[in-house]
Amino acid sequence: MKIAISSCLLGEPCRYDGRSCPSEAARLLQGLDGVELVPVCPEVLGGLPVPRSPSEIDAAERVLRVTSAEGADVTAAFMAGAQAALEAVGEGGCKLAVLKAKSPSCGCGLVYDGTFSGALVPGYGAAARLLRTEGVRVVDEEQLAAVLASSAARHPDALPALFAETSAACPVLETERLVLRAIGPEDAEDVFAYCSDPDVGADAGWPVHRTLDDSRAFIEAVACEPHVFGVFEKLSAADGADGSDGAVSEPCTGPCIGSVGLIPDPQRRNVDALMLGYSLAKPAWGRGYMTEASREVIRYGFEELALGLISCTHYLFNDRSRRVIEKCGFEREGIIHAAEPAPDGTMQDLETYYLTRVSWEEASRESAPLCANPKLWQSTQEVRAE
């Protein structure tokens, strides 16, 4: 994976004061297999010298305006640098950029307010704005450090999830009763077993699989995407799992009984948002499995992917899906009328929901370990009775 990164984070002395701002998280990226870094400095690309007068975005202006500490308007140079950075990112094939926090070019979420008093306001630097508009995810070095720490703690030997480009590159997730892993060609018959059930496809919004080739095509075209997982039930010793040697190993599982994942939301132009989607084999209904799996995928999205928002939808008639969404703490947004055609061609309305990272974090802090307040995390007994 190619990742654009602010040159100063790699030790290049290109900041306004002629210094660099090396980041330990950036250094760790240099040692990751399969990761190639593309250094950029928008301000230098825009023709500004090193060193130069510090600049800030004027937060009082509705249109981008960048001024130097001496009061000079340097907006044109910052816009030119942003465009040059976008071209470099595009030529490098980068879908992710790690940029310097709080910078008037690279800031991600917080920038100085233009008073040169050290005050911060919500916002994005000139280059960060343009990259996000063009569909490039942008995180700063602080967000990167948090993501790397979370991934290393949970999956020390795996590629951090933020850099996964396929489902096979994503880490294996576990809950009390389930294993969530990539669906492979070897799972095609299991996938066909539940995707050929008309009660599953109709509720999820996709056509029934009529042949094994339909399921193989689903695995190749959809299930291979990053952050899409198969749902596998853990087997106990009574079910045939062999733990007699006492060795620590990956849990034994049964067949694939569904899928769950985070996919692009067709209703949002937000690079920091993904949509939760899922389906489950009918024999597994009523056990709380999808709530359990969804909660873990939500955690994964916020902690390991640094998402700002996760959305979810269901057809108006799908009360079972609605209960899962509500138990996971989503807030209802409303109804999108005639949103998409169902497999039979009729236009269906969608009930839409969202969950922000802030809401999820607040609920998690208020909770006992991974068993949050009544709104976000229902009790284990309640989940299993869904």
Q: What is the pLDDT of residues 220-260, one digit of tens each?
A: 999 999 999 999 999 975 565 555 454 446 789 999 999 99
Pairing mode of beta strands 309-315, 331-341: unpaired
Distance CA 251, CA 289 (A): 17
Whether the ω angle into residue 51 lies within 30 degrees of 0, i.e. cis, is yes
Instruction: Tell me which DSSP letter residue 368 carries.
Output: B
Task: Check residue 386 and give its pLDDT.
Answer: 42
Q: From start to end of 129-188, where are the E strands?
A: 137-140, 173-174, 178-181
Residues facing 98 on adjacent strands: 5, 139
pLDDT by 10s per residue, the chain, length 386 = 999 999 999 999 999 999 999 999 999 999 888 899 999 999 999 999 999 999 999 999 989 999 999 999 999 999 999 999 999 999 999 999 999 999 999 999 999 999 999 999 999 999 999 999 999 999 999 999 999 999 999 999 899 999 999 999 999 999 999 999 999 999 999 999 999 999 998 888 889 999 999 999 999 999 999 999 999 999 975 565 555 454 446 789 999 999 999 999 999 999 999 999 999 999 999 999 999 999 999 999 999 999 999 999 999 999 999 999 999 999 999 999 999 998 888 999 999 999 999 999 998 887 754 443 333 333 333 433 34
Structure tokens at 355: 């969950």
Cα 215 to its chain centre, rounded Å, is 26
Over the stretch 351-375, which tens digit does the pLDDT of each residue have?
999 999 999 999 888 775 444 333 3
Cβ–Cβ < 8 Å for 297, 329: no
Q: From CA 355, how far away is CA 295, in angstroms rounded?
A: 12
Confidence (pLDDT) at 379:
34
pLDDT given at position 111: 97
Domains and CATH numbers, the chain: 2-154 (no CATH), 167-367 (3.40.630.30)
Q: Is residue 274 within 8 Å of 305, Cβ to Cβ?
A: yes
In DSSP terms, 373 is beta-bridged to none
Q: Record the pTM.
A: 0.90
- The DSSP code sequence of 310-358 is EEEEEETT-HHHHHHHHHTTPEEEEEEEEEEE-TTS-EEEEEEEEEEHH
